Structure 1
């Protein structure tokens, strides 16, 4: 049966998606949507739900799902799962981890089960005693994540039995010392290794990495004592992904050790102390696809060195020292670029004239620059653009007309700009738009009316817009919405009634609408696909919680500054919402 039911051990390159914004646990959010260079997201198995789905007709779960659901409820009755087929034991283990039913007692039932994957990232209560059971999986164990646990060096000693480990992650394991790191050298089959925020790892301690010749991915984020230690990875020529994010001890001389990593495809160096001189050592990395130098002390002069990287497609120079001077090298040095992030730099409309030649560009981040309407005229020819981040610029409605021909745009962020309803009319032809951020105070109901032709929208952010009950009637045109933010304070229960037909919604944020009452939760009770709901800072009470019982998929619920108690929320979780793992107020 192999590992078909196991969690994924694969890693992925950055998924550039600047406008996808989730709902914060609080009822306010950050000033604008920031460009995030994402690594792999945590993989969650599907939720076992024996209730009726959003369409009202029940679906019969598989026999395996029913069995696992029953085992979860009665897990204390089982002494061992080792007699079961490995894939079945793996499914049970995954489910217990996901539902937070795994404990120091129940994990004993998985001793000698030959599991392949034990992904326990940020799982509460993990100590060395748990690792004894992990070690019993022996050579079958391929992937282990015990990040944010209280394991010590002894745990790494126990893992020597797991000689086939391919992926090992122990980020934020503060009790592991340099003595424990020495054990890592014995895992010769490792392809992925991560230990973020390790204050114990030193340059000398990095000698343990020199023998791991099969490493493909290495994450050293926030390791503050590794200056001079990169010399120990010079021989890891199979390395394709290296992260030294926020390692402020790294300087230009350390970058010289990377020059021979000829298979490197992804390099993450945000917020380290490298300059243009450090970038010089990257000239030979001809397979480099993604380079993230956000917050480094580099200037446009480094573009000369980057011109020697023929495979480069993703470049992040956000929060560096870019100015208009020198940006004329963009079009000549980076003609193959697909993703460019130069937000938070001291650049103006003049710089954008030099982007006209980047015709292959698909993603562009200009967040918090000094761009105005005239600058947007230079983007009109970038017809392959799919993602455009213009948040917090001096853009007004007149400038939006230059975007009307970018018919491939899928994500557009105009938050904290000066755009009004008149400008939004220029977006009516962008039928490929899926994500639109209009967190703009001057946008009102008539702005929504101008967008009704964008029926493909899946994410709409109207966080600070002045939308009233009258404006919500236009939401009926957006049948495919997965996430929606309306937090300007103008909604009442009558307006929320117009949302009940948005059956595809999974994330909904209605916080800061002071006039919402328990009737709002009644209107939302049919949106059974909701995974995250925020109705903070409203007049909802404990009595209204009964309307949430049908929302079996709900995992996050925020009702801060309401007349709702943590005790009642806990009762709701235990009696009706078994998948609810995050709620506020909390005990």
Structure 2
């Protein structure tokens, strides 16, 4: 059975019936997440965020690669939000919404959508994916529909049997995401007929090897290709990339067998972005072929064995604006090479054996906007070299030797929006030197020596949206100062000094989206009652407290809640499931006691 003629006629006035003239909707608009805020929750008494750990930030990360719940920082992305056709009282649904809803309800009745305009078929397909209702059987109805974008990343059941319908879109197909699927080398052979393909995502497809790469060698229109976490791709297999002359973005993160294969990228003169993070096989001589990629703007080679010698090849890349050398073998001597990279905007030097002497070589990088010095031997004296970086808006100083005397060098950085001072030696009194940073939005003070007095010295920073006081010793009295931060969207206070009395001040922060009060063992069900008015909350963590099942009733008002963590509390999974089914339809992640 095909879609009713009346449905087809109702839709055609809005959309052209000719696939050739149908307007293409941007992929980013179609698949925008309903939750743009990262959920960061902790289960330990102290923790340290690593900016370079991308595994936790990947949208739709496969379950087999997720961090375990015991990690101190937990980031979650919620893919495939279901399309909600429930309307407010008095609102009228569009004809298009009603038709798509009806088709999805009766999807098993239709054999083909090939006679519908492409945009309509695309919307039906997208909705089935979002609602997790697409099956191998219903997929068959989309054969020869000339779809442009097939986003099936982390979708259950995708394998070689799906590739026939995917390839039937032919030259219309522009973007395919098969990440986390069971597609093999054989399945990739179907893509040979999709010569217009410009974006292909095969992250975590661990059944694809060098033989599969041969199948994409002819897709010369590809501009974006991603193969994250693949143990089977070798240097020899990378020869298939040499024919992808229009490639702009290539992602080979966590591919441990590609040492020696970068030589095949020499002819990719349009390549602007190359991700080689966590490829510990990368050595100094792998850097030499990259020196010929004059268009390269972003290079990620963290956690590799590249030394100062390998860094010397990068001086031939004048367009480079983003350079990630986190956890390499860099020393102060290697930092001298940065002086020629005048267009650098983002520089990550975290976890390298560099000292204040390195920062001297950064003085000429006047376009620098983000600098990561996490866990480097940087002290107060070195920060004087940053005073002239007026465009700097993001500075990571976590776990450095920076103390109270160094902060005054930062007082003139008027563009600074984010700074991480966790695990440093700063004091309460030194925080006064940050008061002139009127643009500051994100501040991390996860440090045990910070107390209520330090928070009092920050009250002029009324523009703060993110405040991390995870390990700081904040008490009920200190929460009075939080009233000054009306724009806070994310707050973490996990030092153990709060009671229900202190939460009374937190309940006034109506803009909060993420709230972490874990490790405060004296919090009771009263806390949940107090924060029940924070209806914008997407993430809540009250682990290691006295919360019980009886207190869950106060969460009924938090309709936007998507993540709830109550580890080591007297709460059962069944009670949370009951709460979810009756009152919290958006809750997709929870951890009971």
1:518 is matched with which residue: 519, 522, 525?
Answer: 525
Query: Is 2:267 aligned against 1:267?
Result: no
Structure 1 residue matching 2:557: 3-state secondary structure: coil
Query: What is the correspondence of 1:67-466 to structure 2 with a 5 Å cutoff?
Result: 67=98, 70=101, 74=105, 79=110, 81-82=113-114, 84-323=116-355, 328-331=360-363, 335-339=364-368, 362-466=369-473
Contact 1:9 1:167 in 2 (8 A): no
- Residue by residue, what CA displacement relative to the aligned partner does 1:399-446 show, whole Å, maximum 9, x if unpaired? 434443333322122222333332223333322211111212233333
| Higher relative contact order (CA closer than 8 Å, sequence separation 6+) | 1
Task: State the Cα distance separating 1:270 from its structure 2 match.
Answer: 1.6
Query: Is 2:508 aligned against 1:501?
Result: yes
Task: State the Cα distance separating 1:170 from its structure 2 match.
Answer: 0.7
Cα distance change of structure 1 residues 547 and 100 upon mapping to structure 2, 3 Å threshold: farther
Structure 2's unaligned 5+ residue stretches are 1-21, 60-76
1:544 is matched with which residue: 510, 534, 551?
Answer: 551
Cα distance change of structure 1 residues 41 and 460 upon mapping to structure 2, 3 Å threshold: same
Structure 1 residue matching 2:540: 3-state secondary structure: strand
- Residue by residue, what CA displacement relative to the aligned partner does 1:537-579 show, whole Å, maximum 9, x if unpaired? 1222233333323323222221111122223323333333333
- TM-score scaled to structure 1, two decimals? 0.83
CA distance in 2, matches of 1:138, 1:306: 46
Contact 1:78 1:109 in 2 (8 A): no
Task: State the Cα distance separating 1:190 from its structure 2 match.
Answer: 0.7
- Residue by residue, what CA displacement relative to the aligned partner does 1:148-189 show, whole Å, maximum 9, x if unpaired? 222212221223332221110111111123222211112221
Residue equivalent to 1:2: 23
Structure 1 residue matching 2:316: 3-state secondary structure: coil
Task: State the Cα distance separating 1:96 from its structure 2 match.
Answer: 4.2
Structure 2 residue matching 1:508: 3-state secondary structure: strand
Count residues with an aligned counterpart: 548
Cα distance change of structure 1 residues 88 and 493 upon mapping to structure 2, 3 Å threshold: farther
Structure 1 residue matching 2:274: 3-state secondary structure: strand
Task: State the Cα distance separating 1:532 from its structure 2 match.
Answer: 1.4
Query: Is 2:509 aligned against 1:488?
Result: no
Structure 1 residue matching 2:250: 3-state secondary structure: strand
- Give the CA RMSD over aligned residues: 3.4
Task: State the Cα distance separating 1:207 from its structure 2 match.
Answer: 2.0
Task: State the Cα distance separating 1:392 from its structure 2 match.
Answer: 2.3
Task: State the Cα distance separating 1:94 from its structure 2 match.
Answer: 3.5
Cα distance change of structure 1 residues 318 and 452 upon mapping to structure 2, 3 Å threshold: closer
- TM-score scaled to structure 2, two decimals? 0.82
